[in-house]
Chains A and B, each alone.
Chain A
Amino acid sequence: MASSEEDGSGNGSVEEKENGKKRSLGALATAWLIFYNIAMTAGWLVLGIAMARFYIQRGTHRGLFRSVQKILKFFQTFALLEVVHCAVGIVHTSVLVTGVQVSSRIFMVWFIAHSIKQIQNEESVILFLVVWTVTEITRYSFYTFNLLNHLPYFIKWARYNFFIILYPAGVAGELLTIYAALPYVKKTGMYSLRLPNKYNVSFDYYYFLIIVMFSYIPLFPQLYLHMLRQRRKVLHGEVIVEKDD
């Protein structure tokens, strides 16, 4: 699930849980997070503008990925830091959830779009790129304003409403892209290890990708419903009785 929508607390210094209590961060941590979130907002804005310019100037999406890939790779890979933020505790989100989110993005960027060049001009790539751009600009500016304690309602609204459309759209873009890549993976046998070998193990990237695609089926609804619950809690102040495990 590459939409990177985590639970309500995110990067803000303001806790969005039931009590709305502020958790105090050190000044250094706050400064760093503000810088980080501003930088990421800017980065994805630049990416969005680059994509728009390309399309306006060329009138086609062919070659768009190649032209923006450096910016994309830089900022998306930089997002690995978010896992560190959680691990160190300056962001109050689970390391596991963030890890999964960021990993799925890294996977799409490096192990699909970058490695399988033949699919770079697919429309589905543009679809998930646009979705990611809008999502990330919204998300990072949300965190930035939160940290500065001046959150405009429309940003909060955007963060908790855009995903309703963007999330399924992004999933569609990703799945279609992986599907398009399958024939090339099968033909080249890339990233695969065959028997016999001295480690007595084999790996078939083609079947691995098929498993990845199927894994969206249990994962996507859970994440989507989680975001819907967060939305109800944050925007409508509903008190949700959590199911005890």
Chain B
Amino acid sequence: MEGTALPLEGGGLEGLTLRRPPPPGKKAKKAVLFFEVEILDAKTREKLCFLDKVEPQATIAEIKNLFTKTHPQWYPARQSLRLEPKGRSLKDEDVLQSLPVGTTATFYFRDLGAQISWVTVFLTEYAGPLLIYLLFYFRVPFLYGPRYDFTASRHAVVHLACACHSFHYIKRLLETLFVHRFSHGTMPLRNIFKNCTYYWGFAAWMAYYINHPLYTPPAYGDEQVKLALAVFLFCQLGNFSIHVALRNLRPAGSKTRKIPYPTRNPFTWLFLLVSCPNYTYEVGSWIGFTIMTQCLPVALFSLVGFVQMAIWAQGKHRSYLREFRDYPPLRSPIVPFLL
């Protein structure tokens, strides 16, 4: 799901001295100190790979590529290399000579398991609800009784709800393709099954009731629906504004982390009070959708989503506090002043 980037590791050069004399018989103009890298299994300490003549400026990414050559089943995305068997994973951008290692560096390897790209997961988990909801909306056969096949609901709010739900997931798909800049390229493969079950399952459950022939429209009628629509649209815009602001914090292809601040867009002013306003707006959207449809499964989905996002927000908030000394103290993780 979300990636939490870790603070950069490693210090500077540890006063490495040039121990290797230049090769005999050759006049070396510039002595280049090559590193040797040995990679051990973190659990069994078995020596998996030995690399010699590694450039000091080599990055972990390059070392991972070299390791893949000897163990092709472990492509770089599923490698976790660390300095200690139970230590933190080194980042791909870390440079060999800036790590606290001697000229023979020892890395411990852990297999992260089969990996799948974030983009693939997001596209799959969002395309599902979009399509599934529409199946129920159009009352495709076998979902409701045969006499209802391909009939339309007589309630205006049902059509509006379909538009809102579809808009929400189309927005998410487009953001995945064009807006988001991911910290991590991949996640464990099993996540796609877990995530899709969650999104697709809830989408089907909600859609079944909202588009049911026996659906009961909101108790306070048009007033309720109008208010709900306003909340929904406001939060959709808010959520999008935050995504754009976060994207602009980070140049293309980089993985730098900076403190997000409010911009000229008023929707981003929520950054004054909250670390993860994108989650705040997201919960708001679903609350709006709940009020619009007056459907208990939607309320439950909103609640579960809120709990999960609150957990992520707290994690993100804590890592901001750890990384930046000057982090604004007024901010809460997800709910202003409260949570």
Contact = CB atoms under 8 A, between A and B. Distances in A.
Is A bound to B?
yes
Contacts of B110: 244
Q: Give the interface size class of chain A.
A: 10 to 19
A93 to B, nearest CB: 22
B46 to A, nearest CB: 13
Contacts, number: 32
A244 B43 contact: yes
A244 B113 CA distance: 10
Contacts of A241: 43
A200 B296 contact: yes
A220 B100 CA distance: 48
Given A241-B43, A244-B43, A244-B110, A199 B214 contact: no
Nearest to B190: A245
B209 interface: yes
A200 B295 contact: yes
B215 A199 contact: no
Contact of B210 (A197, A200, A202): A200
A196 interface: yes
A241 B295 CA distance: 48
A199 B210 CA distance: 10
The prevalent SS among residues of B at the interface is loop
The prevalent SS among residues of A at the interface is loop
A199 B209 CA distance: 10
Contacts of A202: 209
B317 to A, nearest CB: 24
B216 A201 contact: no
B302 interface: no
Contacts of B296: 199-201
Nearest to A202: B209
B297 interface: yes
Contacts of B219: 198
A195 interface: yes
Interface in A168-202: 195-202
Interface in B68-82: none
B145 to A, nearest CB: 12
B86 to A, nearest CB: 10
A203 to B, nearest CB: 10
Nearest to A196: B214
Contacts of A200: 209-210, 212, 215-216, 293-297
A198 B43 CA distance: 56
B212 A195 contact: yes
Contacts of B295: 199-201
Contacts of B209: 195, 200-202
A201 B207 CA distance: 11
Contacts of B216: 196-198, 200
Residue with the highest number of chain B CB atoms closer than 10 Å, among A199, A200, A201, A202: A200
Given A197-B216, A199-B296, 6 more contacts: A195-B212, A196-B214, A196-B215, A200-B210, A200-B212, A200-B294
28 contacts: A195-B209, A195-B212, A195-B214, A195-B215, A196-B214, A196-B215, A196-B216, A198-B216, A198-B219, A198-B294, A199-B294, A199-B295, A199-B296, A200-B209, A200-B210, A200-B212, A200-B216, A200-B293, A200-B294, A200-B295, A200-B296, A200-B297, A201-B295, A201-B296, A201-B297, A202-B209, A244-B43, A244-B110
